[in-house]
Amino acid sequence: MSEPASVEVVMIRAYVNGGAAQVDTLVRRLRTWGRLRGVTVLAGVQGFGQSGGDAGPLVIELFEAPARAPAVVEFLGTIAGVRHVIHWPARARPQDLAEE
């Protein structure tokens, strides 16, 4: 039987207040918290929101297997400076979820 072209994953995005130092701390905590495959930090050019600030938004993005995603979302919600956590179903190549 051949390997499927894609597998289900959950995309997770967290919007972060506090600037680069807050994001550095969050990434360090994610690195030591669990066996995540990787995390991407996106720095927006410009943005605004309920906080009223107009500084460029900082966003942490990753994807995870559906069984592990709820724990990641819950963990992100416990970290100071994380304003919003959103997630949605997506598809990835099977090798993107392979254990290293």
- Mean pLDDT of all residues in 86-91: 96
User: What pLDDT shows up at residue 35?
Assistant: 77
With respect to residue 1, please indicate whether it lies within any of the assigned structural domains: no
The CATH number assigned to the domain holding 62 equals 3.30.70.120
Of 32-41, 73-82, 83-92, minimum mean pLDDT range? 32-41
In sequence order, the 6+-apart residues with CB closer than 8 A to the CB of 21 are: none
The per-residue pLDDT of the chain, averaged, comes to: 84
Q: How far apart, in whole angstroms, are the C-alpha atoms of residue 55 and residue 52?
A: 9
With respect to residue 2, please indicate whether it lies within any of the assigned structural domains: no
Helix or strand (DSSP H, E) at 8: strand 7-16
User: What pLDDT shows up at residue 61?
Assistant: 94
Write out pLDDT tens, residues 42-52. 987 777 766 65
- Domain range for 88 is 7-97
With respect to residue 28, please indicate whether it lies within any of the assigned structural domains: yes
CA dihedral 45, 83, 18, 73 (to 10 degrees): -100
More confident residue, 90 or 53: 90
